[in-house]
Chains A and B, each alone.
Chain A
Amino acid sequence: MKRKFDHPAPSEREQLTGPKYWRSLDELTGTPGFKAQLEREFPEGADTLDGVDRRHFMKIMAASFALGGAGLAGCRRPEKFILPYGKSVEGVIPGLPSYYATAMPVRKWAVPLLAETHQGRPTKLEGNPSYLPHGGAASLTAQASILDLYDPDRATAHKQVGATISREQVDQLLATIGQTYGGTQGAGLAFLAEESSSPTRRRLVIALRAKFPRAIWSEYEPVTDTPPVQAAQAAFGAAVRPIYNFKAAKRIVSIDADFLQAEAGSLLYARAFSEGRRVTKKSDPMNRLYVAESGLSLTGSMADHRLRIASSHALAFAVKLASAVYPQSAEALAPYAQGVEIPQAWIDACAADLRANPGSSLVVAGSHLPPEVHALVYGINTAIEAIGSTVNFVADESTAGVSSLGGLATAMKAGSVKTLVVLGGNPAYNAPADLDWAALQKSVGEVVRVGYYADETSAVGATTHIVRAHYLESWGDARTVDGTVVPVQPMILPLFGGLTDIEVLARILGETNPDPYALVATTITALSGAGANTDKVMARFLHDGVLAGSAAKPVSVRFNANGARQTLAAVKPAATFSAKSLEVRFVCDHKMDDGRFANNGWLQECPDPITKISWDNAILVSPKLGKELGIYHANTGIQVARQEEAEFTMGKENARVFELTVGGRTVSGPVHIQPGLSNYTVVVPLGYGRTVTGHVGKGAGFSAYPLRTTEAMHVATGATLTDTKTRVLLANTQEHWSMEGRDIVREANYEPATMPDGKSYQENPGYVNTIGMESHAPSNLGPVGEKMSPPQRATQIPRGNSLYTTPQFGKKEDGYHQWGMSIDLNTCIGCNACVVACQAENNIPIVGKDQVMRGREMHWIRIDRYYSSGDIDGGAFGGEGNTTLPEEPQISLQPMTCVHCELAPCETVCPVNATVHDEEGLNVMAYNRCIGTRYCANNCPYKVRRFNFFNWNERKLDQLYLGPLGDSGMPELVKMGKNPEVTIRMRGVMEKCTYCVQRIQNAKIQHKVKMAQAGQPGEVRVPDGTIKTACQQTCPVDAIVFGDILDEQSDVSVAKKREQDYAVLGYLNVRPRTTYSGKLRNPNPKMPDYNALPMSRVEYDRKNVPQTHGHGAAAGAHGSPGNEKQAEKKGAH
């Protein structure tokens, strides 16, 4: 202490209250003005931290400057307040998060979740590990859905004809509807609702029908899964739907079914699929996936064999497959495949493979395909003994007694609907165009809209808009895809007084207790069986987040060929397609779903996993069609083997705008050439082009709904494309799509080729070591280092040659852990859930389309997508260069984030030591030191550093360039959603993946505290599995493993010891802590499109192993099991 602080003698006021004062306020506090201020300010401002804080501070500061001579007070920090609860809240410990089980309902199923709340504010969602089939995973949209809760653009007040009405008036209105139509038995009353799996809503709807027998209850979703049930009705004579067991399936055929992403239950299926896909040792079996599809889905990107067919030809494909699998049916089925060319050799080899694996094969058809395809698939599955083993059927009564949207529209046209209650959904935006919903809705006298947003449907003639509660504000229940009942539990009271669907229904019904919790409790108690105690049942239900034993029981079904044949009766001959007559496939967007997430910034900015376009959708066309339409590339000027078909200018895809016309209806949108599409199918993602939405969704993409009609909801034919000669810029985050024959993603076939070449996994599990620069060069680690285990390398090999003192691992200063990660490329399906999970956990801002086009997106983890076709031939390699896109590329996906190099190139160039290593091997960023030179990003070989070019958090994205003239500040609502454990970064600092350092530190602290209290204070090492990074926790396929590499038994150490573990760019000797497990493909040697090597490997060999090269011709020579270790474990741990 350099100074003794002598306070002046206490003033009169101090004598009274006792305390001493801070110097600059001494005189001030005695003045009458300040006293008045104290009295006036606290009572009115005390309820909000911000109000007290800022205004009070400003007043005091102004006063102290005015009194003069106390200018230094300006250097002091503002006065802040600690605001404890008035009464203690049970279970809440300030500073520690609480976790509650809940679920996100989506159409007819739900994702069980665990919500992290900080003193009542939910900040992060994870999958509920109690629901075992998901294993704690959550989907992309579930991760992002929390942002909607804090969306400043959400509806914030109940409105009636433009005027705000109170909650009491809403209740009154709903009761009045019930009373009015009670007398007419409901005649004139109609409901239009979203689909729901809620047992409580189901119960209320049944009660509703009993009370208002003449009312119309209809449900509408723009994407449906009713055809499988219709087909089952015909083929099995029962209303059942299939549930697949991919884990047991060794051979899988998907007919236009994106079961890894778009189909209901994709989370469940992706996880099970990955379990059959994961290969950790030679004896592990690997499934084989055949995909016949029109677009390029994530499922298609995982395919071992992929056939491009038009969706309209799916029937012909199914017919051919059925004929091959069950030849007795061939004759009867033959007419239905006429006029469609499907390669017979492909079908035969595929069918033979299915037949060779009876009971462990599976055929899946997309739920958008017509019932006849499903009926055939049921037949095939019966023939290959799949039913009961790889596919089960459960009862489906979801459509019983539900009117369709068409039925409702007919009634509305007839004028028999006087009051329409629209529960959720957005029919004015997404109803089939032939219904002209907007006009219909205007014709109804009273429209009561219950909606989360004031959207298109609220804007067209809705007399009343009732705010709908977010699911994180609601009591409710739902069923997962396998029928398990899960709770929807509120984390916070409705922020804007919203109502839930069940509450609305209960109030219209005039239930004595419309409290949603009571409604749910009644349902759940009834479901739990007779005599159940409500309190006990609910306590258990809410604690576990699942109702034990509530999963649907499989029913036994018998295939009836005659019944199935009836579905074929109405089949029309398949159309043939050309550039003049195209097929249009409407797909549910990867991120926007059907448009419901249009105002979600995290999802808008998340690039589509295949096209890599963010903030927009596009008309996807095949390269062949692109050529016929006259779309040619402009030379990129980059000396690469590939030339892009699309035109790029500095990360901006300069796309041509085309008009897409189907049946006289036209929309226009940018065209993006997408390899892998069926030649004459254009794929149009739904969910964009919202006209009435918030700031985020405004202007994103174009709407394809105006093209859809009741008859052609998912596939339309006879479309044409015409050039408008205009251009639009798309924010494409990955301009370049070829690995250029490099070794970024290392791949091999699972089984040896017909002519064994030593390059397959079975022949050489360490195949990754035969690829890449390292395989040609002496090891960076030297012969001694190569023999070491990852933890030994991490701690014993000196990391030197740096001017900075880097931790000398293995010595006293070392931490007790060394963190590392391993990512399995073989199971990664590219679903993007990790990207948004990271964004939610680490307070990563969005930057808007304009900034993404400048390459300034902030995602800490990205998923790189590469195409390879095996015919790389560039000017750079002495060839003529490829001028066309591959029609049928193989896709390789790779999550890429900071790999935490031990010898990090970023650290050596930082002039201010802002990025340094810590004791446990993390490459950390000290934001406060960073001065924003961006040298580190420049020197990062992995390009994973992200720079805050603007103050994304404080500035509006459309006013970034106004600088200080623009609005500043974050809305209170947005602030509530931030993770309090992570710093909000300012403009001008660099940031990047931290391995979720906040989770690491908190877990270490909690473990040490626990052990100290348990009397074992020396146990400071955190047990393996305690810490999960955000990306790892949400990964549906468990592709990411994180942990302590000092622990030889930890999952990550085991993963890193596997032979197919390699470091990307390992030859740089940066010693990344994140390593990758090589990708495997499992093609069938009997197939006509069999490739003896993965395409990326072919390209690698073409570039790096010229036939004249001494050892190149037999590149396998590198890979003999004896020397692979030496080859390139190159400092990768």
Chain B
Amino acid sequence: MSKLFPKSANKLPLQIIVYLVVLAGIATAGVTYYMTPKYSRVGYAPVQPVPFSHAQHVGEVGLDCRYCHSNVEKSGHSNVPTAQTCMNCHSIIKSTSPLLAPVRESYANGTPVPWVWIHQTPDYAYFNHSIHVNRGISCVECHGKVNEMDTVTHMQPLSMAFCIECHRKPETRLRDPKDVFNLNSKRLSEQGAEGAKKASDFVHDWKVKPPQSCSGCHR
């Protein structure tokens, strides 16, 4: 009776296992790399209906973040300005620019300008802007240097790991409260030994204890 399998087949189980392990490893690595927010979100810079340039409005004109995002200190949701806010200036400046047509139309009809949502957190994560900006966390920590962006680009992964990293070590990210809306300012921890002392005092005096358990963000 001839052998059904050649001798080399003895190695087959091992080969299969090795193969599967390698494949699983590649798959894991691939998923980790390509499907996490670090890959899939960072760099996202969609076309907006109106080519609004933060660099121009903040960097050159010098508008404060809160001129447009006026409720960021009060509400969990940082509002995108209404067309009326735009029209405060643009009824005088560039009042006929074709690029601003959607804004004028929105102001006239009340139909919203469909700004593409860039910094999305999942529906089950309840991020609150007001608590962060009122207690020493600057816009720049999550949004990057928007004041230098022509097109708003997703700069940080905004994944849970990203949030938790800061919640574990808040002293590394805190800013002087008056620097929160100054996106060119430095974190306290980056201001030498004196800054580091200020940061630890901040944590102590303000009783900064960011939640690290589920209920902090998930409801």
Interface residues of A (CB under 8 A from B): 1-3, 5, 17-23, 25, 29, 42, 46-47, 52, 72, 75-77, 79-88, 93-96, 813, 815-816, 916-920, 922, 924-928, 981-984, 994, 997-998, 1000-1002, 1005-1006, 1008-1009, 1012-1013, 1017-1018, 1020
Q: Which 9 interchain pairs have the tightest Cβ spacing? A: A95-B77, A83-B112, A918-B213, A95-B75, A86-B110, A19-B151, A5-B43, A926-B214, A1017-B206
Measured in the bound complex, the distance between the Cα atoms of B113 and A1097 in whole Å is: 68
> What residues of chain A lie closer than 8 Å to B112, measured between beta carbons?
46-47, 83-86
Please tell me if the beta carbons of B45 and A21 are within 8 angstroms of each other in the complex: yes
> What residues of chain B lie closer than 8 Å to A924, measured between beta carbons?
213-215, 218
B114 and chain A: residue at smallest CB distance = A81
Q: How far is the CB of A901 from chain B (nearest CB, A)?
A: 16
Please tell me if the beta carbons of A96 and B84 are within 8 angstroms of each other in the complex: no
| Of the residues A25, A95, A926, A1005, contact of B131 by C-beta under 8 Å | A1005
> What residues of chain B lie closer than 8 Å to A998, measured between beta carbons?
126, 219
> What residues of chain B lie closer than 8 Å to A95, measured between beta carbons?
71, 75-77, 79
Please tell me if the beta carbons of A815 and B209 are within 8 angstroms of each other in the complex: yes
> What residues of chain B lie closer than 8 Å to A928, measured between beta carbons?
124, 218
A922 and chain B: residue at smallest CB distance = B215
Known: A19-B51, A84-B82, A86-B106. A1013 touches B215 (CB 8 A): no
B211 within 8 A of A: yes
> What residues of chain A lie closer than 8 Å to B134, measured between beta carbons?
1008-1009, 1012-1013
B39 within 8 A of A: yes
List 21 interface pairs A-B (beta carbons < 8 Å), by A numbering: A20-B153, A21-B45, A79-B116, A80-B120, A82-B114, A85-B83, A87-B83, A93-B79, A94-B77, A95-B79, A815-B211, A924-B213, A927-B124, A994-B219, A998-B219, A1005-B131, A1008-B135, A1012-B134, A1012-B135, A1017-B205, A1020-B206
> What residues of chain B lie closer than 8 Å to A919, measured between beta carbons?
209, 211-213
B42 within 8 A of A: yes
A13 and chain B: residue at smallest CB distance = B47
Q: Which of B42-72 contact A (CB under 8 A)?
A: 42-49, 51, 53, 71
B104-131 Cβ-contact flags toward A at 8 Å (1 or 0): 0011111111111100100110101011
Known: A21-B47, A998-B219. A87 touches B131 (CB 8 A): no
> What residues of chain B lie closer than 8 Å to A983, measured between beta carbons?
123-124, 218-219
Measured in the bound complex, the distance between the Cα atoms of B213 and A920 in whole Å is: 10
Please tell me if the beta carbons of A18 and B151 are within 8 angstroms of each other in the complex: yes
B21-47 Cβ-contact flags toward A at 8 Å (1 or 0): 000000000000111001111111111
Q: Which among B49, B75, B114 has the highest number of chain A CB atoms within 10 Å?
A: B114
Q: Which among A87, A1002, A1020 has the highest number of chain B CB atoms within 10 Å?
A: A87
* Supplied contacts A82-B116, A1001-B128, 9 more A-B pairs, CB within 8 Å: A20-B153, A22-B46, A46-B112, A77-B40, A87-B107, A95-B71, A919-B211, A919-B213, A1005-B130
> What residues of chain A lie closer than 8 Å to B123, measured between beta carbons?
983-984
> What residues of chain B lie closer than 8 Å to A920, measured between beta carbons?
215
> What residues of chain A lie closer than 8 Å to B80, measured between beta carbons?
82, 84
> What residues of chain B lie closer than 8 Å to A18, measured between beta carbons?
51, 53, 150-151
> What residues of chain A lie closer than 8 Å to B219, measured between beta carbons?
981-983, 994, 997-998, 1001
B143-183 Cβ-contact flags toward A at 8 Å (1 or 0): 00000001101000000000000000000000001000000
| Of the residues A47, A76, A84, A916, contact of B115 by C-beta under 8 Å | A84
> What residues of chain B lie closer than 8 Å to A813, measured between beta carbons?
212
Q: How far is the CB of A369 from chain B (nearest CB, A)?
A: 49
B141 within 8 A of A: no
B207 within 8 A of A: yes
Measured in the bound complex, the distance between the Cα atoms of B79 and A1001 in whole Å is: 20
> What residues of chain A lie closer than 8 Å to B51, measured between beta carbons?
17-19
A79 and chain B: residue at smallest CB distance = B116
Known: A84-B113, A85-B110, A1008-B134. A77 touches B120 (CB 8 A): yes
Measured in the bound complex, the distance between the Cα atoms of B117 and A22 in whole Å is: 13
Q: How far is the CB of A877 from chain B (nearest CB, A)?
A: 44
Please tell me if the beta carbons of B47 and A83 are within 8 angstroms of each other in the complex: no
> What residues of chain B lie closer than 8 Å to A76, measured between beta carbons?
40-41
Known: A982-B219, A994-B219. A88 touches B47 (CB 8 A): no
> What residues of chain A lie closer than 8 Å to B212, measured between beta carbons?
813, 919
Please tell me if the beta carbons of A47 and B111 are within 8 angstroms of each other in the complex: yes
Q: Which among A2, A916, A1012 has the highest number of chain B CB atoms within 10 Å?
A: A1012
| Of the residues B84, B114, B209, B216, contact of A1001 by C-beta under 8 Å | B216
Q: How far is the CB of A76 from chain B (nearest CB, A)?
A: 5
Please tell me if the beta carbons of A19 and B48 are within 8 angstroms of each other in the complex: yes
> What residues of chain A lie closer than 8 Å to B111, measured between beta carbons?
46-47, 86
Measured in the bound complex, the distance between the Cα atoms of B212 and A47 in whole Å is: 39
| Of the residues A2, A25, A87, A1002, contact of B110 by C-beta under 8 Å | A87
> What residues of chain B lie closer than 8 Å to A1008, measured between beta carbons?
131, 134-135
B85 within 8 A of A: yes
A981 and chain B: residue at smallest CB distance = B219
A80 and chain B: residue at smallest CB distance = B117
Q: Which of B93-111 contact A (CB under 8 A)?
A: 99, 106-111
| Of the residues B42, B46, B74, B114, contact of A96 by C-beta under 8 Å | B74
Measured in the bound complex, the distance between the Cα atoms of B123 and A46 in whole Å is: 21
A1021 and chain B: residue at smallest CB distance = B207
Known: A18-B53, A19-B47, A983-B123. A42 touches B82 (CB 8 A): no
> What residues of chain A lie closer than 8 Å to B151, measured between beta carbons?
18-20
A925 and chain B: residue at smallest CB distance = B214
Q: Which among A997, A1017, A1020 has the highest number of chain B CB atoms within 10 Å?
A: A1017
> What residues of chain A lie closer than 8 Å to B76, measured between beta carbons?
95-96, 1002, 1005
Measured in the bound complex, the distance between the Cα atoms of B128 and A5 in whole Å is: 29
Known: A84-B80, A1008-B131. A93 touches B113 (CB 8 A): no
Q: How far is the CB of A646 from chain B (nearest CB, A)?
A: 40
Measured in the bound complex, the distance between the Cα atoms of B177 and A925 in whole Å is: 34
Measured in the bound complex, the distance between the Cα atoms of B46 and A21 in whole Å is: 5
Measured in the bound complex, the distance between the Cα atoms of B207 and A1017 in whole Å is: 8
> What residues of chain B lie closer than 8 Å to A816, measured between beta carbons?
207, 209
| Of the residues A1, A87, A984, A997, contact of B84 by C-beta under 8 Å | A87
Please tell me if the beta carbons of B124 and A94 are within 8 angstroms of each other in the complex: no
> What residues of chain B lie closer than 8 Å to A88, measured between beta carbons?
82, 84-85
> What residues of chain A lie closer than 8 Å to B116, measured between beta carbons?
79-82
Q: How far is the CB of A175 from chain B (nearest CB, A)?
A: 31
> What residues of chain A lie closer than 8 Å to B177, measured between beta carbons?
1012
Known: A79-B46, A815-B209. A86 touches B34 (CB 8 A): no
> What residues of chain B lie closer than 8 Å to A85, measured between beta carbons?
82-84, 110, 112
Measured in the bound complex, the distance between the Cα atoms of B85 and A920 in whole Å is: 41
Measured in the bound complex, the distance between the Cα atoms of B75 and A52 in whole Å is: 26
> What residues of chain B lie closer than 8 Å to A918, measured between beta carbons?
211, 213-216
Please tell me if the beta carbons of B71 and A93 are within 8 angstroms of each other in the complex: yes
Measured in the bound complex, the distance between the Cα atoms of B99 and A979 in whole Å is: 37
Q: How far is the CB of A843 from chain B (nearest CB, A)?
A: 10
Q: How far is the CB of B139 from chain A (nearest CB, A)?
A: 16
A18 and chain B: residue at smallest CB distance = B51
Q: Which among A3, A25, A95 has the highest number of chain B CB atoms within 10 Å?
A: A95
> What residues of chain B lie closer than 8 Å to A981, measured between beta carbons?
126, 219
> What residues of chain B lie closer than 8 Å to A77, measured between beta carbons?
40-41, 120
> What residues of chain B lie closer than 8 Å to A47, measured between beta carbons?
111-112
Please tell me if the beta carbons of B110 and A94 are within 8 angstroms of each other in the complex: no
B71 and chain A: residue at smallest CB distance = A93
Known: A80-B120, A1009-B73. A2 touches B128 (CB 8 A): no
Please tell me if the beta carbons of A1020 and B83 are within 8 angstroms of each other in the complex: no
Measured in the bound complex, the distance between the Cα atoms of B206 and A77 in whole Å is: 37
Q: How far is the CB of A458 from chain B (nearest CB, A)?
A: 35
Measured in the bound complex, the distance between the Cα atoms of B153 and A1006 in whole Å is: 30
> What residues of chain B lie closer than 8 Å to A1020, measured between beta carbons?
206-207, 209
Please tell me if the beta carbons of A75 and B34 are within 8 angstroms of each other in the complex: yes
Measured in the bound complex, the distance between the Cα atoms of B207 and A214 in whole Å is: 75
Known: A19-B47, A983-B123. A1018 touches B205 (CB 8 A): yes
